[in-house]
Amino acid sequence: MTESKTYYFDSNATTSVAPAVLQAMLPYLTEKWGNPSSPYRLGKKLVEPIERARESVAALIGADSAEIVFTSCGTESINTAITSCLYTQPTNRHVVTTAVEHSATKNCCAALEQRGYDVTYLPVNRDGSLDLKGFEQSLRPDTAVVSIMWANNETGVLFPVAKIAAICRQRGILLHTDAVQVPGKLKLDVNELGVDLLSLSAHKLHGPKGVGLLYVRKGTPFQPLIVGGHQEEGHRGGTENVPYIVAFGRAAELAGAVTVDAQRKLAALRDKLEAEIFARIPSTARNGAKEPRLPNTTSIAFAGVEAEALLMMLDQLNICASSGSACTTGSVAPSHVLTAMGLSPAEARSTIRFSLDYETSDEDVAYLMSHLPRVVAELRTAGSPRTAVRVLQPKLVAHAV
């Protein structure tokens, strides 16, 4: 517990670049800096590492490497997937999604609505689960695509994507899933899952920010979102980001090597944190079903506490957590995920997400729990969040050192 150590409980926001990943990518930022489309060796020699990375990410998800399109991020992959399904079926103008998607999907759909497309946002139950009957009833003859996330980034709750895929297949409707939070935490096999398109992002699995992928099942009609050069077999224009693609490949190998035992240990540590919070801090509750859920995520409402104030106090103690998805940090609106689950705006605003990683230790959890009960109690007695931060911050700085 050195003064400078960061206690990181926000792995769903991003993860550190693994040393092996950094090592793999560095030569492509230094001596191997060519353009893979160039006719001479400095460039041509980069085609092979890109294809090796493609094979590594394909292996992680049980796909063929020809089914992988590298993109700039998860958000681009999601936008590409949804728009491609619409552009290739011009007479089908209906999209089905859920009310709890990441903003990448939510705002892509909102933009499509402004352009005259029709979007159904399926509601969820109080525990964050989806009603399959309601889902089936939402499908229409003009439904072009269903885009449903596998694992919710705020609560960790899983949707039954394989069952959804079976229904879509029966109806001849394309299915895209945002699986950005899944690699390394659950087994991921596109054929077991039965999806047509799937999005991932490297920075959630110890790769760098700014590289993602879209899986496109063989035979799926496709139109690119980013139009330009012939890169990615014409599926995505733009000179390949060779270092980041190589890094993604290495990160995928590491994520693929995570054992079921390691996943169980991660879930046990998360459960221990949850149990300690419930035992030691009154008026706390988990948001979302206990299972099925990602093994690393817990979303907890601390009644009567403003999450933003709590996060500021925890930051003073070198503890990082989140009050929802990173993309909404700084906005005062309560999480759309939590309000869709039926939480009141006040309950949503009192929620903290802790998301662990294989690097999270028992000591990290012990450090968090050595401060959390006191900080919550102090915030509850201090009244308004602004007053609380003003009054309590100096005290916390003293505790932190």
Q: Which residues are part of the catalytic machinery?
A: 327
Shortest Å, Cβ 179 to ligand PLP: 8
Which range touches ligand PLP (CB under 6 A), out of 70-78, 80-88, 140-148, 224-232?
Answer: 70-78
Tell me the one-letter amino acid at 20.
A
Q: Give the closest residue to 302 by CA, choosing from 343, 363, 356, 357.
A: 343
Which range touches ligand PLP (CB under 6 A), out of 68-76, 160-168, 230-238, 332-340?
Answer: 68-76
DSSP H/E element including 309? helix 307-316
Q: Per CB under 6 A, does 104 bind ligand PLP?
A: yes
DSSP H/E element including 177? strand 174-178
CA angle 277, 153, 188 (to 5 degrees): 115
Residue 54, beta-bridge partner list = none
Shortest Å, Cβ 200 to ligand PLP: 9
Q: Per CB under 6 A, does 288 bind ligand PLP?
A: no
* Distance in angstroms (rounded) separating the CA atoms of residues 119 and 113: 7
Residue 287 or 325: the one with the smaller Cβ distance to ligand PLP is 325
Which range touches ligand PLP (CB under 6 A), out of 73-81, 114-122, 138-146, 225-233?
Answer: 73-81
Which range touches ligand PLP (CB under 6 A), out of 27-35, 177-185, 280-288, 385-393?
Answer: 177-185
Which range touches ligand PLP (CB under 6 A), out of 164-172, 176-184, 295-303, 310-318?
Answer: 176-184
Shortest Å, Cβ 104 to ligand PLP: 4
Q: Give the closest residue to 273 by CA, choosing from 3, 9, 44.
A: 9
- Judged by CB under 6 A, the chain residues 180 through 219 that form the site for ligand PLP are 180-181, 201, 212
* Distance in angstroms (rounded) separating the CA atoms of residues 337 and 125: 11
Shortest Å, Cβ 302 to ligand PLP: 22
* Distance in angstroms (rounded) separating the CA atoms of residues 131 and 266: 28
- Judged by CB under 6 A, the chain residues 75 through 94 that form the site for ligand PLP are 75
Q: How far is CA 65 from CA 52, 61, 196, 218, in A?
A: 9, 10, 15, 10
In DSSP notation, 85-113 reads HHHT-TT--EEEEETT--HHHHHHHHHHH
Shortest Å, Cβ 244 to ligand PLP: 11
Shortest Å, Cβ 325 to ligand PLP: 6
Q: Per CB under 6 A, does 147 bind ligand PLP?
A: no
- Judged by CB under 6 A, the chain residues 228 through 287 that form the site for ligand PLP are none
Q: Per CB under 6 A, does 102 bind ligand PLP?
A: yes
CB-side neighbour CA atoms (13 Å) of 6: 10
* Distance in angstroms (rounded) separating the CA atoms of residues 346 and 338: 10
One symbol per residue from 326 to 355: x for binding ligand PLP (CB under 6 A), - otherwise; what is it? x-----------------------------
Residue 73 or 146: the one with the smaller Cβ distance to ligand PLP is 73
Enumerate residues 6+ apart whose C-beta is below 8 A from 246. 24, 25, 28, 49, 50, 52, 53
Residue 92 or 97: the one with the smaller Cβ distance to ligand PLP is 97
Residues near ligand PLP (CB under 6 A) are: 73-75, 102, 104, 149, 153, 178, 180-181, 201, 212, 325-326
